[in-house]
Structure 1
């Protein structure tokens, strides 16, 4: 039976009412204890939707919330630094270094570019010591902040993977966490993103294109609106709708690698980022837990491919010009997930965009029991 949801609320965006999709909230403390009901709940969320809120408002999760606030302070200082300092090393590899604004396709289709700059720190690099990070954040205090965040995020993701393995009845080497060992090379990355106001980037550099993530799990923190998801359904996916920031919670979603590892049972989350308020600076933190580079799985095209190869192919697709992206298999950008219906039209001019005041209303569709 197809997953059903409650009637969503909406917010006003680009002159129309856009859904705010509801989703499950998983308690991290209960998951850490392998509470059977919570394990069943997180498995259901990954099977039916591919995303959920993770509540960290307990003694086990509050450390991560504190680490996140420390990281936000570091991000503000880093992104306010001169471009020459931020771009000291450039993009050293696909999962380490600095990406300036406009490196990828934007949220509104062909001819647009993204509206964010990003600093990426590799978990493997942090583990090796003396990491290649730009000088504005290379003092011992900043390195401790980065290390604390990577350690906390990594632990949280491993707890989720363990619960999913248990809930799916996996044993021994087949358990998901056994392809995510800390001592094996992977492209696991802590990414810090700064979305700039449109008055700085212009209207042709906004947001981040619709996609699924390369990762196994993505742990995302943002206190601001802008993230949209497209929930899966039996006739393709429903329309793009917003994810409401939820205090004390992270947003977690399934990426391609975990979908492949589950034999396509889990849904990979189709999402994008749009300028909800085009006048603000938006900050978000994403921890991309990725499988060991030599992990083998079968992708949505039926190919047997390693996690490292999938990462490299999809990263190239992200950074390719939109003309090349259009020629690539749709399974690359969307991980083989199906969708139905067109995306929203080109947005109105910035001067005509209404104030981003949240106005919850009910849609007229009828709710059906889950």
Structure 2
């Protein structure tokens, strides 16, 4: 193999140069056509890194890009509304409702998160009268949400089908057969608003984690997302690219693949401390009753994994330490360099026997 002469790209953050990691680009139109070479590249990206760009600039993906812009306009209006209006119902369920700033742990030690979020589940949006704040319940806004969820669902199901084909799966063993549209799941559209913050702020970013999803379909036009590739000792930025979504493998697909796929470790930091940052994520999740073996060797349902990990997310660090050691990072391993970087090397050791965080943590 020839030695690369390309100079690695970096961005300045928190007083040091941080790498910008390269990512594979997968063409959505070629996946729709089930082109063997593209499917092979997709499987390799999910097994080696756990994330990639999905190129939507062809005619088959342009509608999703339009839906993204319509959703952003809706988000600007929603997040500018008074807190009482946004939080009309609060968090109805872990995958439905509003979470104010500071509901979770922040990206650096002794901080809380720096974003607010509203979640609309796929199951809920199909009801005659979905449980949503009044400021989102206008007919035009409902249509925007329906389109965004439907498009993301189609894209992620296309990826699942291509992965099944690439791995030679057939019949009930195919991944998409545990993600049927008519079965209850916690699949949801999450719209996030990150407030301006310096690295020294008390509310900053989104803590390192892997996603509860099978696949995450993300639009983010602004810098801030960082990933930590398998085997890497540091986080690096993901470059926002026009016409592309960022896709990452989540815990459920990692488990369903027999732990052969990588669940992407990532976080969000404020690259520009003066800007408001917005991102749109669709979390495709397996049917609630789907069974898999997690990283602790437990044979559990997708619904149980979702609930336990959600409560870990919303718990303070001392209670997160009571969860299984694999909970926040989905069983993915890290090098010590990261613990030293954010000052968590001396955090309390997890209690591996605490397998159900819901028994320990109050419901938020």
Check whether TM > 0.5: yes
Distance 2:47 2:21 in 1: 17
Question: Which of 213, 216, 220 is the equivalent residue of 1:215?
Answer: 213
Q: Does 1:258 align with 2:253?
A: yes
Residue of structure 1 equivalent to 2:359: none
Distance 1:129 1:123 in 2: 13
Name the TM-score, length of structure 1 as normaliser: 0.89
Distance 1:189 1:112 in 2: 26
Distance 1:320 1:238 in 2: 26
Measure how far apart 1:328 and its partner are: 2.2
Poorly superposed stretches of 4+, deviation over 3 Å = 344-347
Please report the RMSD computed on the Cα atoms of aligned residues, expressed in angstroms.
1.7
Distance 1:13 1:272 in 2: 14
Residue of structure 2 equivalent to 1:285: 280
Measure how far apart 1:25 and its partner are: 0.2
Measure how far apart 1:326 and its partner are: 2.3
Measure how far apart 1:12 and its partner are: 1.2
Contact 2:254-2:261 within 8 A present in 1 as well = yes
Contact 2:219-2:280 within 8 A present in 1 as well = yes
Partner secondary structure for residue 69 of structure 1: helix
Distance 2:318 2:14 in 1: 27
Task: Report 1 or 2 for greater relative contact order, CA contacts < 8 Å, sequence distance ≥ 6.
Answer: 1
Q: Does 1:244 align with 2:239?
A: yes
* CA deviations over 1:163-211 (Å, ceiling 9, x no partner): 0000011000000000000000000000000001128x98111000000
Residue of structure 2 equivalent to 1:74: 74
Contact 1:34-1:163 within 8 A present in 2 as well = yes
Residue of structure 2 equivalent to 1:131: 130
Partner secondary structure for residue 53 of structure 1: strand
* CA deviations over 1:3-28 (Å, ceiling 9, x no partner): x9x86311111221100000100000
Distance 2:334 2:196 in 1: 30
Distance 1:27 1:242 in 2: 22
Name the TM-score, length of structure 2 as normaliser: 0.90
Residue of structure 2 equivalent to 1:93: 93
| Alignment of structure 1 residues 287-302 onto 2, 5 Å | 287-302=282-297
* CA deviations over 1:267-305 (Å, ceiling 9, x no partner): 000000011111110000000000000000000111100
Contact 2:291-2:300 within 8 A present in 1 as well = yes
Partner secondary structure for residue 331 of structure 1: coil
Higher mean C-alpha displacement, 211-220 vs 128-137 = 128-137
Residue of structure 2 equivalent to 1:306: 301
| Alignment of structure 1 residues 1-370 onto 2, 5 Å | 8-109=8-109, 111-198=110-197, 203-233=201-231, 237-343=232-338, 345=341
Partner secondary structure for residue 211 of structure 2: coil
* CA deviations over 1:88-127 (Å, ceiling 9, x no partner): 0000000000000000000002x21000000000100012
Contact 2:233-2:337 within 8 A present in 1 as well = no
Which consecutive unaligned segments of at least 5 residues does structure 1 have?
Answer: 348-370
